[in-house]
Amino acid sequence: MSILSGMETLIITAVILLLTASWRLYQKRKYYRGVTSKLPTVYGIPFIGIVYKMLDVNKIFHNFHIKHVLTSSEFFNKAEEVYKHFQNGVFNGLIVAPAKKWKADRKIISTFLAHNNNVAWIPAFNSISLKNKLERLVGQGEQDIYTIIKSTYAFKLFGVAFLSRTPHYNRVRKYLKDLVQSLTKKHLAQQLESEAMNNVVEDKQAMVDITVKAMRQGLFSEKQVVVEGFTMLAASYETSAAVLYTCMLMLAMHPEIQERVFQEIRSVFPIEVISVEYEDLKKLPYLDMFFSEALRLAPPISFIARKTAQDSEICPGVILPKGAQIAISIYELHRRKEIWGPDASRFNPDNFLPENIVKRHPYSYMPFSKGARNCLGFRYAEISLRIAVIHAVRSLKFSTTFKYEDIVHVPHISLRYKVQPPLSIEVRAN
Ligand code: HEM
């Protein structure tokens, strides 16, 4: 009887391991194939999977499936594949936190994004100098407004594609991390009950205040303050800048709508806008409709994704297996013809007339997502952005030669324009 040589033993062991792994993989795939067989599913090709059909996959979802995914606790975890780029030591706060940790942290942070606090920030929103910067472009022909908005409303550097791990990305990440850290330290050095905490007008400090306050109350560690502060900056600035730009762009491309928005604002502010108060916002229903329509057609977060915590029945007889990752394209949902009609892609604020809203399923429109894990800062965003638009539109008029039909959106973690149309600005006589 021959004794196996070391090499032969190694080969046999490798073959057994390979066969075992293949068998387990086969069983797993069989299981997945079985539980998803009732879905109108698409089958992937080896190694590539279904990525090439991402948009079609989305169409299997109806509003009630979306509602189920966004409201049921089995889906509170984020899909790792989609959000893994956030897991880099500074972004991994509330947005990507696993369900258990997320619940407690959200509770803490939501206190500081509550209605009263949002209203308390209104003087700061009024002081943002976007209108003054735009005024400098008057009479200069078509200009790159987006860069101005970002540098005023957001960090200049935030426009960077933070998903790509380039050396530039790393430098930016370090810059921002240092910035948040130094803001945190600065705030910690202030008196505990400092009134100044509520009077900060520098926009980039606002989000840091929230988490520093939590630390002062012993709810967050210093590290968490930095991470959550950074997460807030990431969640708020890029999205807000994109929406503001979209608003200016839609006004410029639709002069008759711009006129209506302007006339409504003028009816509330007949002479000029010194300061917009919370009560003023309630007097501008057409601005609300305009704003909603801008978010419908260009939602800055164009898709969201969740992961099942266990085998989950998404509708009778259809089970999503544990660990399945589900992407919901907000962008696609907002343009579905069966919901928005044959002209779904046309810019039409009348979609948000009260009589039209009631005809739709509530989960037809969700720029801020829905359910327990929706956008925590949505009221903050709505108030701050409306105030910025009011200041700008009351005294300036926007136009562009770029056609609405020629807009091409680029899917990214936040929605981008392939070409950012430049705008011309004029001062209004009154
Ligand atoms: C127009 C501007 C904004 C839009 C369209 C927007 C949209 C969204 C969406 C769609 C989500 C869900 C993401 C997901 O499920 O993966 C989200 C989450 C979040 N947003 Fe916003 N956002 C905006 C502005 C803001 C602002 C200003 C803040 C902070 C003041 C903020 C804070 C957050 C936070 C903390 C989360 C994570 C919530 C959680 O997981 O519990 N967002 N946002």
Q: What pLDDT does 295 receive? A: 98
220 lies in a domain? yes
Candidates 204, 213, 149; CA nearest to 182 is: 204
Asked whether residue 50 is domain-assigned, the answer is: no
Q: Is residue 24 part of a domain?
A: no
Domains identified in the chain, total number:
1
Q: HEC states along the chain?
A: CCCCCHHHHHHHHHHHHHHHHHHHHHHHHHHHHHHHCCCCCCCCECCCECHHHHHHHHCCCCHHHHHHHHHCHHHCEECHHHHHHHCCCCCCCCCCCCHHHHHHHHHHHHHHCCHHHHHHCHHHHHHCCHHHHHHCCCCCCCECHHHHHHHHHCCHHHHCCCCCCCHHHHHHHHHHHHHHHHHHHHHHHCCCCCHHHHCCCCHHHHHHHHHHHHHHCCCCCHHHHHHHHHHHHHHHHHHHHHHHHHHHHHHHHCHHHHHHHHHHHHHHCCCCCCCCCHHHHCCCHHHHHHHHHHHHHCCCCCEEEEECCCCEEEECCEEECCCCEEEEEHHHHCCCHHHHCCCCCCCCHHHHCHHHHCCCCHHHCCCCCCCCCCCCCHHHHHHHHHHHHHHHHHHEEEECCCCHHHCCEECCCCCEECCCCCEEEEECCC
Pocket test for ligand 1, best of 204, 378, 383, 387 (most atoms within 8 A of CB): 378
Enclosing domain of residue 162:
63-427
- Report the atom number in ligand 1 closest to the C-alpha of 384: 27
In the reported structure, the alpha carbon of residue 95 is separated from the centroid of ligand 1 by a whole-number distance in angstroms of: 8
Which pLDDT value is given to residue 198?
Answer: 42
Using CA positions, which residue lies closest to atom 7 of ligand 1?
Answer: 368
**pLDDT value at position 83?**
77
CA gap 371, 65 in Å, rounded = 13
- Placement of tokens 């956030």 in the chain: 86
CA of 378 to the centre of ligand 1 (A): 7
Atom of ligand 1 nearest to the CA of 96: 40
Residue ranges around ligand 1 (CB below 6 Å)? 94-95, 102, 106, 113, 207, 232, 235-236, 239-240, 243, 299-301, 304, 367-369, 373, 375-377, 380-381
Residue keyed to tokens 């803001």: 183
- How far is 222 from 79, CA to CA, in rounded Å? 27
Which CATH number fits the domain that encloses residue 357?
Answer: 1.10.630.10
- The answer as to whether 414 is a domain residue is yes
- Kindly report the protein residue whose alpha carbon is nearest to atom 16 of ligand 1: 304
Which residues face 313 on adjacent strands? 319
Rounded distance from Cα 122 to ligand 1 centre (Å): 19
Give a yes or no: residue 386 inside a domain.
yes
Ligand 1 centre to CA of 7 (Å) is: 57
For ligand 1, atom 17, the nearest C-alpha belongs to 375
Cα radius of gyration (the chain): 25
Ligand 1 pocket test, pick from 307, 375, 389, 415 with the greatest ligand atom count within 8 Å of Cβ, gives 375
Give the pLDDT of residue 186.
66
Strand 303-307 and strand 325-329: the pairing is antiparallel
Nearest CA to ligand 1 atom 11: 375
From first to last of the 430 residues of the chain, give the pLDDT tens digit.
556 678 888 889 999 999 999 999 888 777 777 766 666 565 666 655 655 454 444 455 677 788 888 999 999 999 887 777 666 555 678 888 999 889 988 887 887 678 887 888 888 788 777 888 898 899 999 999 988 887 776 543 333 333 233 444 555 556 666 766 666 666 666 544 443 344 433 433 355 666 677 777 787 787 777 777 777 777 787 888 899 999 999 999 999 999 999 999 999 999 999 999 999 999 999 999 999 999 999 999 999 999 999 988 887 777 888 888 888 999 999 999 999 999 999 999 999 999 999 999 999 999 999 999 999 989 989 999 999 999 999 999 999 999 999 999 987 767 889 999 999 999 998 7
Q: What is the atom index within ligand 1 of the atom nearest the CA of 300? A: 5
Ligand 1 atom nearest to CA at 206:
30
Q: Is 114 within the bounds of a domain?
A: yes
Q: How wide is the angle at C-alpha 111 spanned by C-alphas 110 and 115, nearest 5°?
A: 90
Does 110 map to a domain? yes
Q: Give the residue from 292, 267, 215 showing the smallest Cα distance to 390.
A: 267
Give the Å distance between the CA of 100 and the centre of ligand 1.
19
What pairs with residue 143 in β-bridges? 423
pLDDT at position 364, please? 95
Judge contact between 245 and 146, C-beta under 8 A. Answer: yes
The answer to whether 235 touches 95, Cβ cutoff 8 Å, is yes
CA of 91 to the centre of ligand 1 (A): 13
Residue 354 lies in a domain: yes
Instruction: Give the Å distance between the CA of 376 and the centre of ligand 1.
Output: 6
State phi, psi for 305 to the nearest 5 degrees. -150, 145
Q: How far apart are CA 390 and CA 272, in angstroms?
A: 10
**CA of residue 106 to ligand 1 center, whole Å:** 12
Q: Which two tokens mark 91?
A: 């972004």
Distance CA 45, CA 35 (A): 18
What is the reported pTM?
A: 0.80
Burial class (CB in 10 A: 0-12, 13-18, 19+), 77: buried
Rounded CA-CA distance 348/341 in Å is 11
The structure tokens listed for 291 are 């704003």
104 and 362 Cβ atoms separated by less than 8 Å: no
Q: What are phi and psi of 328, to 5 degrees?
A: -120, 120
What is the C-alpha separation between 153 and 156, in angstroms, rounded? 9
Number of C-beta neighbours around residue 37 at 10 A = 10
